[in-house]
Structure 1
Amino acid sequence: MRDVAKEVYKKMKVGSMAWVRPVAAKGDTLPSFQSAHDSAKQLEEEGLISIGEVKRQDDGLIEAIRIQRLA
């Protein structure tokens, strides 16, 4: 399984913000994307990013995560 949050993090410059979203063309689905939030929380605990916002659907599934690269 791809680590979407880490892929987005590696492409960002320090201080920039980005939305992490599932990419259907790469095989991501909303259920499989839920692990990206766990990965983002781990990056946040390591002090590499700050999670700014988490967008959820009505059923509670995460559809997008806004992150800022700190280091």
Structure 2
Amino acid sequence: MRDITKEVYDKMKVGAAAWVRPVAAKGDTLESFQSAHEGAKLLAEEGLIQIVKIQREVGGLIDAIRIQRLG
């Protein structure tokens, strides 16, 4: 399973903000994307990012996470 949040983090510059979203072309689904939130929480606990916003669809599944790179 790929770590979408880490992939986005690696491409960001310090201070930048980005949306983390599932990419259908890479085989991501909303169900598999839920693990990205866990990855984001781990990076936030390490002080590498700040989770700015979590966007959910009507059914309650997370469909986008806004992060800001701190370190």
Rounded Cα–Cα distance in structure 2 between residues aligned with 1:28 and 1:58: 19
After TM superposition, the runs of 4+ consecutive aligned structure 1 residues lying more than 3 A away are none
Q: Does 1:24 align with 2:24?
A: yes
Query: CA RMSD for the aligned pairs?
Result: 0.3
TM-score w.r.t. length of structure 1: 0.99
Q: Which residue of 2 aligns with 1:54?
A: 54
Rounded Cα–Cα distance in structure 1 between residues aligned with 2:24 and 2:57: 17
Q: Which residue of 2 aligns with 1:13?
A: 13
TM-score w.r.t. length of structure 2: 0.99
Q: Which residue of 2 aligns with 1:37?
A: 37
Could you list the runs of 5+ residues in structure 1 that have no partner in the other structure? none
Structure 1 residue 58, shift from structure 2 partner: 1.1
